[in-house]
């Protein structure tokens, strides 16, 4: 008997050894009950709805952690597979999965007591109830003007390409690039690399203490859908080294979306595109100030956040940030009223700035040419009028 090219003569007949269960891969090679012959190999036969063969195992793609939605698509550690999608697994008191993100329904103003139950404007969530936030306190601080008498240097050789993240101590300004975070002298701007990339820098403008954002002992990582801020690691303002101490926050801050990091006088603040949090320093007491929009901001960093300043005057906080290539503005919290701080002919792609009350300067970064400097990667400062304590309301 003559068999076709793809067949083999076995036991008196022509068979395809690529898919024949009695001659799988060769004459007489019999697959076990419940197996199929595929590609000359005996494999499991998956029966029942939702069962799929992945490798040598039958799995449910809707719930299998190693094959979530498709064979080989594994969920990250700590996640669950639900409906063929990887979702965060929520642990701890009050933690609930809302829209794929773990939130604390005891304190989340967008999900207060239950997913989707948002507090009205001006209220915050405390013990799963919408209440008035605690009164703001602290030393008044306000930017009166941002000048244009400037000094700037090329920072590429120290940090590499720009990334984002800026903070000032009493003696240095820190900026992060793709190669390293660098520390630069406040006056000469001479810089050295720190040998690490620190994306989460911020400082207390009153004391010059620099902090690095921490999430349960590790650096905050916003490369996914979000992360928790649980503490602030202390950074030596002279050397840039982490000194081993961490200031714990009174409650976790869940960040996701378009994150703004703001340095203030005895405080720092965060905005995630929707909500605002204040952290009092050095106590670490966190207050959620509810939802507010920073509409019209077109400035973007090459990182997961942008950096600005939080002011406190007129009984309210004001988030101050670069809105576009010509304008720096402030937005009052929680009303969302935005006013202009400074107008410039060109800020290039500036997205990060901070101030030094001790030097009466504002420090900034941009790429390319601006009214201050033409170059590749510029780090600089200009004069500023900054009021502390005796601040008149607008």
Residues 121 and 198 in one domain: no
Residues 119 and 268 in one domain: no
pTM for the full model? Answer: 0.73
Residues 157 and 127 in one domain: no
For residue 118, the enclosing domain spans 90-132
Q: How far apart are CA 192 and CA 211, in angstroms?
A: 19
Residues 169 and 147 in one domain: yes
Task: For residue 101, list its beta bridge partners.
Answer: 98
Residue 348's region, left for phi above 0, alpha for psi from -120 to 50, else beta, is left
In a domain? residue 332? yes
Residues 145 and 102 in one domain: no
Residues 178 and 111 in one domain: no
Tell me the pLDDT tens digit for each residue of 325-370. 999 999 999 889 999 999 999 999 999 999 999 999 999 999 999 9
15, two tokens: 């068979």
Q: What is the CATH number of the domain that holds 382?
A: 2.115.10
Residues 194 and 307 in one domain: yes
Q: Please work out, in degrees rounded to the nearest 5, the angle formed at the alpha carbon of residue 281 by the alpha carbons of 277 and 283.
A: 100
- Dihedral sign from CA coordinates of 211, 267, 293, 227: positive
**What pLDDT score was predicted for residue 379?**
97
The band of 11, judged by pLDDT with boundaries at 50, 70 and 90, is confident
In a domain? residue 34? no
Contact at 8 Å (CB) between 227 and 218? no
Q: Is the pLDDT of residue 191 over 90?
A: yes
- Overall number of domains in the chain: 2
Residues 250 and 361 in one domain: yes
Tell me the pLDDT tens digit for each residue of 51-68. 787 876 778 888 888 899
Tell me the pLDDT tens digit for each residue of 261-279. 999 999 999 998 888 999 9
325, two tokens: 């290539």
Where does a domain end: 132, 149, 166? 132
Q: Give Cβ neighbours of residue 321 (< 8 Å, ≥ 6 apart).
A: 260, 262, 294, 297, 299, 306, 308, 309, 328, 329, 330, 331
Q: What's the chain's average pLDDT?
A: 89
Tell me the pLDDT tens digit for each residue of 135-184. 788 999 999 999 999 999 999 999 999 888 899 999 999 999 999 999 99
In a domain? residue 5? no
Alpha helix locations (H) across the chain? Answer: 156-159
Q: How far apart are CA 108 and CA 286, in angstroms?
A: 12
Residues 284 and 330 in one domain: yes
Q: Which residue in the block uniquely carries the two structure tokens 């630069």?
A: 184
In a domain? residue 348? yes
Residues 192 and 263 in one domain: yes
**What share of the chain has pLDDT > 90, as a percent?**
57
In a domain? residue 349? yes
In a domain? residue 21? no
Residues 116 and 214 in one domain: no
Q: How far apart are CA 51 and CA 124, in angstroms?
A: 46
Q: In 3-state terms, the chain is what percent helix, strand and coil (to 5)? A: 0, 50, 50
Residues 126 and 182 in one domain: no
Tell me the pLDDT tens digit for each residue of 214-266. 998 899 877 656 788 999 999 999 999 999 999 999 988 988 778 999 999 99
In a domain? residue 308? yes
In a domain? residue 83? no
């Amino acid at each position: 008997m003559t068999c076709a090219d793809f067949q083999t003569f076995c036991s008196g007949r022509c068979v395809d050894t690529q898919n024949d269960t009695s001659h799988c891969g060769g004459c007489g090679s019999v697959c076990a009950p419940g197996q199929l012959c595929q590609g000359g190999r005996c494999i499991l036969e998956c029966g029942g709805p939702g069962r799929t063969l992945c490798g040598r195992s039958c799995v449910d793609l809707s719930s299998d952690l190693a094959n979530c939605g498709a064979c080989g698509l594994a969920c990250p550690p700590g996640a669950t597979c639900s409906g063929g999608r990887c979702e965060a697994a929520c642990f701890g008191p009050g933690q609930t999965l809302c829209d794929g993100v773990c939130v604390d329904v005891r304190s989340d103003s967008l999900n207060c007591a239950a997913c989707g139950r948002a507090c009205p404007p001006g209220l915050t969530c405390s013990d799963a109830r919408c209440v008035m936030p605690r009164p703001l306190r602290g030393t008044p601080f306000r930017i009166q003007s941002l000048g244009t008498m400037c000094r700037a240097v090329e920072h590429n050789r120290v940090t590499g390409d720009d990334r984002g993240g800026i903070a000032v101590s009493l003696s240095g300004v820190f900026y992060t690039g793709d190669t390293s975070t660098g520390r630069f002298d406040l006056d000469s701007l001479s810089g050295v690399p720190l040998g690490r990339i620190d994306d989460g820098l911020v400082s207390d403008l009153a004391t010059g203490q620099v902090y690095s954002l921490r999430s349960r002992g590790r650096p905050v990582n916003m490369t996914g859908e979000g992360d928790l801020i649980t503490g602030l690691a202390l950074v030596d303002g002279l050397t840039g080294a982490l000194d081993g101490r961490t200031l714990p926050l009174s409650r976790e801050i869940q960040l996701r979306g378009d994150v703004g990091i703001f340095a203030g006088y005895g405080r720092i603040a965060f905005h995630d595109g929707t909500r605002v949090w204040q952290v009092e320093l050095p106590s670490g007491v966190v207050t959620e100030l509810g939802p507010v929009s920073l509409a019209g901001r077109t400035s973007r960093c090459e990182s997961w956040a942008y950096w600005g300043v939080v002011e406190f005057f007129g009984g309210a906080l004001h988030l101050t940030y670069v809105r576009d290539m010509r304008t720096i503005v402030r937005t009052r919290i929680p009303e969302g009223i935005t006013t202009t701080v400074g107008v410039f002919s060109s800020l290039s792609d500036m997205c990060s700035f901070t101030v030094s009350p001790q030097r009466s300067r504002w420090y900034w970064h941009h790429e390319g040419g601006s009214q201050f400097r033409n170059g590749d990667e510029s780090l600089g400062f200009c004069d500023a009028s900054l009021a502390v304590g005796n601040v008149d309301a607008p």
